[in-house]
Amino acid sequence: MNIIHVTVAYALPNKQYIYEVKMKLNSTVKDAILESKILNIIKNFSLHDLHVGIYNKLVHLDTKIKDGDRIEIYRNLSIDPKEWRRKKYIAIKK
């Protein structure tokens, strides 16, 4: 049986959670997320509500993973980047 190593990552504004997991060849993104137990940290979301990607490219939960993949779980932005830059600009001008 072939074993691959992948990383499952989830970031909050002040903390990152990164888990290394060993998976069977032909496993999916969903399998790796479940194996990592990272859902114990992400409250108020079901697995199927998550937006996930591999190296910053959106993928589906049934996407097959490869050795060395970094599976990223995305969260909603707390503020629109344009709005943040506008507020920062206004604060600098004062």
| b/e sequence 18-30, b meaning 16+ C-beta within 10 Å | ebebebeeebbbb
Q: What is the DSSP string of 74-87?
A: E---SS-HHHHHHH
Q: Which domain holds residue 20?
A: 3-93
Domain CATH number, residue 20: 3.10.20.30
The encoded tokens of residue 48 equal 């199927």
Token output for 47: 């697995």
Say if pTM beats, i.e. exceeds, 0.85. no
Both tokens of 15, joined, read 């903390």
pLDDT of the residue at 78? 67
The total number of structural domains in the chain stands at 1
Tell me: the pLDDT tens digits for 12-32? Answer: 888 999 999 999 999 999 999
| pLDDT mean values, one per 10 residues, the chain (94 residues) | 93 92 97 94 81 96 97 82 77 72
pLDDT of residue 54: 98
pLDDT at 77: 66
